[in-house]
């Protein structure tokens, strides 16, 4: 469901269609997910409000929190319409958290700092090669 339909093989597409035929709620969720993906891909802010309204109209609790984006609509519109994102920063934060988990909470800040700096330096060498 999260992959673009064009990237599915023939057998995967047949299986997916069979699953959707068995569950009307899943079919509705799939329709909303595809529409939302289209909004993000085309950066079309004008369709975002229609998508939130359509999603709220159906009894799909899994999408209601996503439809709650209207509470901070200015930030959401900026996120949808601009090419800027915080992906690299979030990736680095996740990397630091992974290093902390690997140390099992036994190391203090100096060792964590050293490991973060060393792995960052190793990553920059990999991208240059």
- Encode pLDDT of 38-54 as tens digits: 888 888 777 887 888 88
- Tell me which long-range contacts 102-105 makes (C-beta under 8 A, separation of at least 24): none
Q: What is the 8-class DSSP label of residue 103?
A: T
- For residue 129, the model assigns a pLDDT of 44
- Using 50 as the pLDDT threshold, list the residues of the chain that sit under it: 125-129
Q: Is 18 helix (H, G, I), strand (E, B) or coil?
A: helix
In this prediction, residue 73 carries a pLDDT of 74
Q: What is the pTM of this model?
A: 0.57
Q: Is 80 exposed, middle or buried, given 0-12, 13-18 or 19+ CB atoms closer than 10 A? A: middle
Can you tell me the distance from the alpha carbon of 54 to that of 28, in angstroms, rounded to the nearest whole number?
Answer: 11
In angstroms, the CA 70 to CA 59 distance is: 18
Per-residue confidence (pLDDT) for residue 104, from 0 to 100: 80
The reported pLDDT for the residue numbered 84 is 76
Are 94 and 106 within 8 A, CB to CB? no
């Amino acid at each position: 469901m999260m992959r673009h339909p064009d990237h599915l093989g023939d057998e995967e597409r047949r299986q997916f269609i069979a699953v959707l035929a068995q569950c009307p709620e899943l079919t509705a969720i799939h329709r909303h997910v595809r529409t939302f993906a289209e909004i993000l891909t085309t950066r079309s802010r004008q369709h975002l409000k229609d998508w939130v309204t359509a999603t709220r109209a159906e009894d799909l609790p899994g999408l209601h929190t996503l439809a709650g984006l209207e509470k901070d609509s200015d930030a959401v519109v900026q996120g949808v319409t601009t090419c800027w994102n915080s992906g690299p920063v979030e990736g680095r934060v996740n990397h630091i958290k992974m290093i902390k988990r690997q140390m099992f909470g036994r190391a203090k800040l100096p060792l964590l700092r050293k490991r973060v700096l060393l792995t960052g330096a190793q990553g920059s060498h990999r991208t240059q090669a």
